[in-house]
Chains A and B, each alone.
Chain A
């Protein structure tokens, strides 16, 4: 009997507490920066596409909802000629982001993707590529990797010596 009254009293007290419920959609919930929501393809600090089409995101995806084709631009940079995510299958596990060696694919704090037609949940590269570095500003894969591209020759990446003169026998 006492516990019953006590519970009623506690419920009554909540009437005077600060409200926890967000009046969504009028009021947006603040999402943490690492919220695993909508997937985007980000860009390098110099504006180039970060995705090099390595297929690791597709391989990591447990529901196999990512499909792409790698290709190479005349300047030597690799990029995906198409990049498709079927969000009607995506479970937002974030494995693709973990697998990505170039920080290209990122899950952003945005979940408002609902559609009436399932077909509209198929996102192509135009829908995915954003004009931002996302959560990892400053990272530029080609400045780390040993491959030469236009504007960054062999030996010009971070922690690289200039190319060897193979005709020299000096140590």
Chain B
């Protein structure tokens, strides 16, 4: 019987549109995080190295308890490393005052977490504008930026609705718009497609990807291979360490940079 040859696929396209040329947006160096002490001590991360360059989307996968969420909260300055350092745009988060850290978080970081945390008394646009206003941006400008962000995630028509007038998927997109509003340099996402159906999930990944293609750095924690597939690089965590990676950081400099080169993983083998 005549049979068909195995699938023929085009050669892999190069990862990322334009290779970034600047310094990493996120650099984690020898980061260890220990929770508790004594017999109940839990080591969430052990000496983790990771860099994310502008334009890169990096996905983190690993079994539960491998340290994925800890990694994300440390990268976002929501938690402090027991040892090692976290740099965002070259600034060591551990050396910032609480106030300076809060300002950097509002200005440079966007979070998409499973918990949406939209303010029920504010419209979608007001929710999205909130971090910009807190950062001193004039109300009108903040609103314009908010509408732009809502447009980016495809829900501009929801601008004047309140959270309880939206479906779960719509709320999720508004939360994502809030994470992307303004000139965020680093977007952190923890299972951002949690409550969404597969078509909407694809849209969310497309938005994240587009933001990274436009120059932001993205760090995505997920257990879904199909979402991690959008990343330039997938890093695998186990027991608080990087055990493997699907590639090297996608910049030419990283090859010359000792720190950057070792982050791709496999070093612990």
Instruction: Please indicate whether A and B come from the same complex rather than being unrelated chains.
Output: no
Report which A residues bind B (CB closer than 8 A). Answer: none
Report which B residues bind A (CB closer than 8 A). Answer: none
